[in-house]
Amino acid sequence: MKEYRPDDFDFNKALGEIKQGIAKPNILICGATGAGKSSVVNYVFGEDLAKTGDGIPVTRGITKYQRDDSGVVLYDTEGYEIGTEKVSHYKTQVENWINQAKSMDLKNQIHEVWYCISGGNKRVTDMDIDVIKSLVSKKVPLAVVLTQIDNLDEEELTAMEEAIVHYCDVPFFRTCVSQDLEVLSALKDYLQWEALIAWAIDQLDESLREGFIGALQGNLTTKRGLINHKIIPLYTSAAAGIALTPIPFSDAALLVPVQIKMALHIMKTYGLDQTLGNLSSLVGSVVVSESGRLLAQTLSANLLKLIPGVGTAIGTGVNTAVASSFTAAMGYAISEICFRCAKAVFEDGKEIVFSEYFNSENIASLMGEWFRVSKNG
Ligand SMILES: Nc1nc2c(ncn2[C@@H]2O[C@H](COP(=O)(O)OP(=O)(O)O)[C@@H](O)[C@H]2O)c(=O)[nH]1
Ligand SMILES: [Mg+2]
């Protein structure tokens, strides 16, 4: 069996291809100055994306924020001071610009609008209603983000929500961005970040969801769902295609590049490529050696017996079943390990040693788990 050498793999090229393949949704963020637009965006996507000064003005009053390694493009409207003449300009600017975007291909359209209304003002203004109605009439998915609800008592909150339902008839989600843990804990049952994100994903064409989910801060369970149900299957199909070529299936080295690319894709989606330093050396030293060695071992060992449709002998007919099952198991193991790492790093704020999570013992045990479950299920 040929040895696979990490040097054969071009990590930057693979990462570039992965990025290239991710289409980015365009999200328009609307609302008055001080409505809490920037705070909401920072909370959902992380601080870096809309850092002041980094945006490109696309038209008067609208600034585009994007980053090479982020899967969303945000258009932030400059906002307006309630009660000034800027208010009427605002509506015209936003409308004109939406019209212009609508005439373009899917990639350049506005895919959804988050319209921020601040609880701090205690009311929904005529201007809000006007702009919302106008955008809805243009068939752009729109939700109201009811921000800063820590400023509202129960009665005020109900009144604002009733106004949104009555005048606009659009979905709305309650949010608050506060450093104060007591405030957040008191609002726990009111906050609807998860529902906002679920709505936001739901509005997007399937082809745009990966970009959005990958751009989220945290949301590890949503990311894991995307990885296990959408990303890993891309690579199991690729592996099956490769297995058709060499007959009989004897060259494990051919599968390894597919699995390394899958590992990169998984790590990127969890956001681990940013945190764990030099990605290529990390993946080079760990994923390549572990997966290469394990694949070689596994092909001649007990795990094969567990693959549905495969006996102890490997014949040409079972090449694709072996290749795709093995890759799926490997993907599951990598996803699970990366999930644990991401949890430790992002949720518990730990400094981790990647090799304590990512080692042959853990990979083998998780792959075994996958084989057992898929055989029984
Ligand atoms: N109390 C409270 N203040 C907030 C909240 N969200 C934002 N703010 C404050 O409101 C001000 C305006 O927020 P910002 O996000 O800059 O609004 P933008 O002008 O729409 O981008 C800032 O001083 C924020 O710190 C919130 O949920 N609660
Ligand atoms: Mg702002």
**Would you kindly state where each structural domain of the chain is located, as residue ranges?**
6-18+218-376, 26-203
Kindly state the average pLDDT of the residues 130-137: 91
Cα of 53 vs centre of ligand 2, distance in Å, is 11
Structure tokens belonging to residue 120: 């701090």
Mean pLDDT, residues 208-226 taken together = 96
Higher pLDDT, 91 or 140: 140
From the CA of 148, give the closest atom in ligand 1: 27
Q: Which residues are found with C-beta within 5 Å of the ion, ligand 2?
A: 37-38
Which pLDDT band holds residue 299 (cuts at 50, 70, 90)? low
Residue 247 has pLDDT above 50, yes or no: no
What one-character DSSP code corresponds to residue 167? I
Question: Rounded to the nearest whole angstrom, what is the distance from the C-alpha of residue 188 to the centroid of ligand 1?
Answer: 19
> Ligand 1 centre from 212 Cα, in Å?
23
Each residue of 158-192: pLDDT tens digit?
999 999 999 999 999 999 998 899 999 999 999 99
Nearest CA to ligand 1 atom 7: 36
35-49, 136-150, 277-291, 341-355: range with highest mean pLDDT: 136-150
- How far is residue 255's CA from residue 221's CA, in Å, rounded to a whole number? 28
Asked whether the CA dihedral 193, 194, 195, 196 is positive or negative, the reply is positive
Q: Please give the Cα distance from 235 to 335 (Å, whole number).
A: 13
pLDDT of residue 295: 61
Distance 61 CA to ligand 2 centre (A): 12
Is 3.30.160.150 the CATH number for 26-203?
no
pLDDT tens by residue, 36-74: 999 999 999 987 776 655 678 777 778 888 888 889 999
Q: Could you identify the atom of ligand 1 that is nearest to the CA of residue 31?
A: 20
Which amino acids bring their CB within 6 angstroms of ligand 1?
31, 33-39, 79, 147-148, 150-151, 176-178
> Residue of the nearest CA to atom 2 in ligand 1?
148
With cut-offs at 50, 70 and 90, classify the pLDDT of residue 143: very high
- Closest CA relative to residue 344, chosen from 329, 331, 356: 356
Q: What confidence category does residue 224 fall into, taking pLDDT thresholds of 50, 70 and 90?
A: very high
Query: pLDDT higher for 295 or 142?
Result: 142
Short-list 261, 229, 230, 256, CA closest to 243: 256
Alpha-carbon span 32 to 126, nearest angstrom: 12
> Whose C-alpha lies nearest to ligand 1, atom 23?
34
